[in-house]
Amino acid sequence: MIILKYLTILITFIFRLNIERQGEPVARGKYRKDYEYQIEKQGKKTKKTLIYKGKYYKLDIQKDELNKIKIKYSIFCLLTVLSFLFVGFQNTEGSRKFYIILPFIFTFLPIFYEIMGTIKFITNKPKMTALEYDTSIKRMKRSTIGILILSLSSSLGEIAFLIQNKIIDVTSLEYRFLSGILFMAFISYLFLQQQKKYNCIELPI
């Protein structure tokens, strides 16, 4: 089944990709300006230490509320993954149509980055560097929007297929596929609304 092939690729891709190392400063790309080297003399040798000089960010919430938000975000992310897997295992005629299957297959990219962003958010300290902020809060939001758009595109294609083929049996696999993809869109919408509830503020240096 074609969807299973792409699901296998997704799982392999996730497990083979190295997760960003936690707590290690990365002075590259656009984040280079946020770091500078501090040179210390230790006898005849010199020691170079990378020091963060950039902006810090944090969610504008109480500390005890942060753990509850991390649990909420984890649940939303897990439900998104489970709905994606559920839809992927539905062997339907509609899933062979490019205008249905292509948006669904491309959904694995924002789902992967949503997973990465959620993991990063959970493991981050309350006070985040610019890199940590971008790879957690911003990444989750962009990924959730991507999942929402692609899942809605796939569901619209499925609805068009149902109308075109006059399929009215709501117990058929086609409707199961549609319900799964609509559920994923609904979860993504709720997740996006949750993310909008909490503002991330820049801390004074």
CB 62 within 8 A of CB 156: no
Does residue 42 surpass a pLDDT of 90? no
Q: Percent of the chain beyond pLDDT 70?
A: 85
Tell me the pLDDT tens digit for each residue of 111-124. 999 999 999 999 98
Q: Percent of the chain beyond pLDDT 90?
A: 48
Residues in contact with 191: Cβ distance below 8 Å, sequence separation at least 6, in sequence order: 73, 76, 77, 80, 144
Say which amino acid occupies 78.
L
Tell me the pLDDT tens digit for each residue of 135-164. 999 999 999 999 999 999 999 999 999 999
Q: Checking DSSP bridges between strand 56-59 and strand 45-52, what pairing results, if any?
A: unpaired
Residues in contact with 81: Cβ distance below 8 Å, sequence separation at least 6, in sequence order: 111, 115
Q: What CA–CA distance (Å, rounded) separates 197 from 117?
A: 17
Best CA proximity match to 157, nearest among 110, 95, 106: 95
Give the mean pLDDT of 102-119. 93
CB 202 within 8 A of CB 56: yes
Q: pLDDT band at 18, cuts 50/70/90?
A: very low
What is the number of alpha carbons within 13 Å of residue 105 lying toward its C-beta?
16
